[in-house]
């Protein structure tokens, strides 16, 4: 089991932010693994600074829940994600560190990109409700 914190990040138009790590083809929500002693929100805020240059106060995040699905980049593993919703301006995120690319997608029609199971089966459908 891979335990992570993730951000279901949207812009004012309702598009979802998806990221792709270097050396992979799968797009997913931004976030990452918690370090010892870190809460999920602390880990997520740290990851967003490192990966996308987003410095955001804790009050900007809304807890959505804990979700489990097949891991995208670790075959045979599952991911347990502590997920928070977040709204940012479309021009704010800038890929850095292990993030090769970020892309805004329509949650109802993300296009021809390959999505992580957690994104396609669980998180993007939340935005379509």
3-class SS string, 35-72: CCCCCHHHHHHHHHHHHHCCCCCHHHCEEEEEEEEECC
pLDDT tens-digit readout, 42-63: 999 999 999 999 999 999 999 9
Say if residues 92 and 17 touch (Cβ distance below 8 Å): no
Could you give the CA distance from residue 75 to residue 114 in angstroms, rounded to a whole number? 15
What homologous superfamily does CATH list for 2-127? Nucleoside Triphosphate Pyrophosphohydrolase (3.90.79.10)
**What is the reported pLDDT for 129?**
81
Query: Which residue positions in the chain have pLDDT lower than 70?
Result: none
**What is the reported pLDDT for 56?**
96
Three-class SS state of 98: coil
List the chain domain ranges.
2-127
Say if residues 79 and 69 touch (Cβ distance below 8 Å): yes
Look at residues 76, 70, 85 and name the one whose alpha carbon lies nearest to residue 117: 70
């Amino acid at each position: 089991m891979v335990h992570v914190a993730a951000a279901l990040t949207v812009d004012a138009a309702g598009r979802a932010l998806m990221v792709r790590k270097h050396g992979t083809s799968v797009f997913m929500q931004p976030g990452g693994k918690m370090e010892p002693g870190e809460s999920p929100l602390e880990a997520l805020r740290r990851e967003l600074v490192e990966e996308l240059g987003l410095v955001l106060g804790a009050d900007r995040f809304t807890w959505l829940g804990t979700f489990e699905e097949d891991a995208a980049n670790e075959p045979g593993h599952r991911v347990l994600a502590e997920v928070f919703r977040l709204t940012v301006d479309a021009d704010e995120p800038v890929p850095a560190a292990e993030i090769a690319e970020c892309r805004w997608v329509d949650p109802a029609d993300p296009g021809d990109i390959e999505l992580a199971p957690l994104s396609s089966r669980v998180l993007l459908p939340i935005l379509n409700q």
